[in-house]
Amino acid sequence: MTAFFVVKDENYVYSELSENKEVQLTALGDKIRDLRKQRGYTLEKLAELSGSSKSYIWELENKNPPRPSADKIAKIAAVLGVTGDYLMNAGLQIEDAVDEAFYRRYRQMDPETKKKFRHMVDLWGDDK
């Protein structure tokens, strides 16, 4: 029979179950909560913008859901301006996630918008 242990830590709200007594913590809930508050979003507003329910966002921030939906995490990440990888991976830095999210949006722009954007960046470079 396999024994599971629920791991709680004062620094993390979201915890994982561990079969081998090793602590497996993720800051998913903390990251979502911190980014949501930085952007001035309520639970209701983030839920509305991401197509989720308020209770689902609350559970991600405060509970241990069995497996968060990859689609929902991707939508929440897009609203928060980061990647789903950043939310799910404790090793990624926020700056990398913001840059990656920006680059993904850039790649989806039409060619004329990209051309204008590159021109603006070139103009900024001329300020030296």
CATH number at residue 102: 1.10.260.40
CB-based contact 111:103 (threshold 8 Å):
no
**66-70 long-range CB contacts below 8 Å, 24 or more apart?**
68/28
Residue 85: domain span: 27-125
Q: Is residue 76 part of a domain?
A: yes
DSSP 37-54: HHTT--HHHHHHHHT--H
Considering the entire predicted model, what is its pTM?
0.61
Any domain includes 10: no
How many whole angstroms separate alpha carbon 78 and alpha carbon 46?
11
Into how many domains does the chain fold?
1
Whether 72 is covered by a domain: the verdict is yes
Alpha helix locations (H) across the chain? Answer: 28-38, 43-50, 54-62, 70-80, 84-88, 94-107, 111-125
pLDDT in tens, 60-110: 888 865 578 889 999 999 999 998 888 888 777 787 878 887 888 888 889
Query: At 21, is the pLDDT very low, low, confident or very high (cuts 50, 70, 90)?
Result: very low
In a domain, 86, yes or no: yes
Give the mean pLDDT of 41-58: 94
**Residue 4 covered by a domain:** no
